[in-house]
A = this chain, B = another copy of it.
Amino acid sequence: MTRLELPVASSTPLLDVQPTGTFKGRHVLSVRDLTREDLAYVLRVAHQMRVMVGLVGSVDLLKGRLLANLFYEPSTRTSASFNAAMKRLGGDVVSINEVRYSSVSKGETLQDTIRTLESYVDVVVLRHHQVGAAAEAAAVARKPIINAGDGAGEHPTQALLDLFTIVEELGAAEGLTVTMLGDLRYGRTVHSLSRLLALYGVKLRFVSPPALRMPESVLRDLAARGAEWSVHEDLEEVVGRSDVLYVTRVQKERFEDPAAYEAVAGSYVIDRALMARTKERMIVMHPFPRVGEILPEVDDDPRAAYFRQIEYGLFVRMALLAMVLGRA
């Protein structure tokens, strides 16, 4: 893997996607802001990034540009993914992971912190524990803000990488049957992803214990978008017809009664025996980390897409960084 040098003042972009300019300087706060045209553009650039990384590893597309990775709560994988994405584009990163120890936590407003950091850098990735923090930051920012998760709110790059994984692995999202499994009530990722997939006429199958069902608000949104969906408790009802099995973690803390947790946790475990009852062409996804929902014995199955999904996240984040900085 060598690095392709781009002439500095090049007017010929490496990517064959012509910059539309529609993302330049734009904040990425929520997938709700994105049209199908926007999504197509993100997917196209992310695919180009995948090809580029496979061929040469890195480019100098964002050389001299700086990203501030501002994490108010730790998220190693998201932070590392943005960090690597910026660096594979030839840019560099100022990481602020230890917000809780810093002057930032001593009463300074998020808005002042954002205005401080954007004085040093060209784009800010923000992870925060409060819903709406990203929008609050964007309200004052002169540089693009990318939301890397704001509490129970949005985590748009996760939803986009999930969509990208489905499209890259299965060719297109249209007409697929996507089964989501586990904690659908509190799982932020399944809310965003199901809203996105509704735009593509995907059949959604929601499998969870009664206490962890997809919230009514999400189901209403899906109905409004004309999506076809159904609710189940037993995975067996749908597993054989699923093109995508999206598994999530059922967190013990959600249950008042530990016995209730044990009963549920065990009933949604993906193992080799279950894989034998799935379609030959399908994929298993998981937003990670996993803690027992998918057994390691499944890892070698070519349909286990969850490690590739992590790589797709890198490509999607590379795409978004290049786009908001006007280079793709």
Interface residues of A in 17-39 (CB under 8 A from B): none
State in angstroms the CA–CA spacing of A90 and B117 once bound together: 19
State in angstroms the CA–CA spacing of A56 and B3 once bound together: 21
Interface residues on A, range: 35 or more
A64–B2 contact, CB under 8 A?
yes
Residues of B within 8 A of A112 (CB): 288-290
B101–A74 contact, CB under 8 A?
yes
Q: Does A231 contact B (CB under 8 A)?
A: no
Contact for A108 among B59, B65, B94, B289, CB less than 8 A: B289
Contact for A94 among B57, B84, B96, B311, CB less than 8 A: B84
Contact for A81 among B92, B95, B120, CB less than 8 A: B120
Given the known interface contacts A87-B92, A96-B76, the answer about A5 and B8 at a Cβ–Cβ threshold of 8 Å is yes
State in angstroms the CA–CA spacing of A86 and B274 once bound together: 44
Q: Does A99 contact B (CB under 8 A)?
A: yes
Given the known interface contacts A2-B8, A96-B80, A288-B112, the answer about A120 and B314 at a Cβ–Cβ threshold of 8 Å is yes
Closest B residue to A56 by beta carbon equals B64
A318 to chain B, nearest CB (A): 11
Q: Does A310 contact B (CB under 8 A)?
A: yes
B94–A66 contact, CB under 8 A?
no
A77–B57 contact, CB under 8 A?
no
A94–B98 contact, CB under 8 A?
no
A291–B74 contact, CB under 8 A?
no
Q: Does A121 contact B (CB under 8 A)?
A: yes
**Contact string against B for A residues 30-68, beta-carbon threshold 8 Å, 1 for contact and 0 otherwise:** 000000000000000000000000001111000111101
Q: Does A88 contact B (CB under 8 A)?
A: yes
A57-B122, A58-B65, A120-B314 known, 5 other contacts, Cβ within 8 Å: A3-B8, A4-B8, A57-B65, A80-B117, A108-B290
